[in-house]
Amino acid sequence: MKFKYTILYVKDVTSTLDFFKRAFGFNQQFLHESGDYGELSTGSTTLSFSAFSLMKDLGKSPAQAQAHAPVFEMAFESNDVRSDLTRALEAGAVLQQDIREESWGQTTAYVIDPNGFLIEICSPVAS
């Protein structure tokens, strides 16, 4: 078994894909013609987005992310946290935590995307 993909529920799949392409440099892998489902190529795991309306049509009751009370975070590893943080902010992310050198040998920064998702931009952990 392998971890194939994560699907995040959003209001607007197309604008979310556009934000993630601009903010983090990911490539769009797929967008359904309805605009209700799309995927980004992020390495070995696919990051996917599905519209709230589609999930409701499928009998699910999705909740919207709350930036002030996140229940998860996405972490994107970077070799240049400062540059990647700047790009994310220029694309419309909101700064949650500026760059910080952690005691365990990692550089971290946190942003909130337009959907309210918490995203960590981090260096590899120094060994």
Query: For the chain, which residues make up each domain, given as ranges?
Result: 5-57, 73-122
Question: How would residue 3 be classed by pLDDT, with cut points 50, 70 and 90?
Answer: confident
> Which pLDDT does position 15 carry in this prediction?
98
**pLDDT above 80: residue 53:** yes
CATH 3.10.129.10 fits 73-122, yes or no: no
> Which pLDDT does position 2 carry in this prediction?
85
Query: Is the pTM higher than 0.85?
Result: yes
What mean pLDDT is predicted for residues 67-73?
91
- Residue 52 in contact with residue 10, Cβ under 8 Å? yes
Residue 38 C-alpha from the chain's centroid: 13
Residue for token digits 């994107």? 76
**Mean of the per-residue pLDDT values for the chain?**
95
| The CATH number of the domain covering residues in 5-57 | 3.10.180.10
Residue 79 CB contacts under 8 Å (≥ 6 apart), including other chains: 123, 124
Q: Which two tokens stand for residue 54?
A: 């589609």
